[in-house]
Amino acid sequence: MDWLPCPLVIRVSRRLECGSHAAAPAALTIRRVFIPFTLMVTGTLSVLLAIILAVMNEITSILAVIRTGWQ
């Protein structure tokens, strides 16, 4: 690491912690980023599934009308 500038080495070494001190920032990151993202994706998938089912129902209705001869 001789080629790295000194401030970068100091920043990296300050971030290298062990035990619960290192786990706390990771846990906060998971709470702040991944959980809301997961909820957003889950909600988006639910909406997407509802749209797909609605379109499939419409297609089924149209095909039923076509089969009966547009009566």
pTM of the model: 0.41
**What band does 24 get if pLDDT is binned at 50, 70 and 90?**
low
pLDDT per position as a tens digit, 30-57: 566 666 666 666 777 777 778 888 888 8
**pLDDT beyond 50 at 63:** yes
**What band does 14 get if pLDDT is binned at 50, 70 and 90?**
very low
Give the rounded distance of the alpha carbon of 5 from its chain centre: 36
H or E segment and range at residue 57 = helix 35-67
**pLDDT beyond 50 at 29:** yes
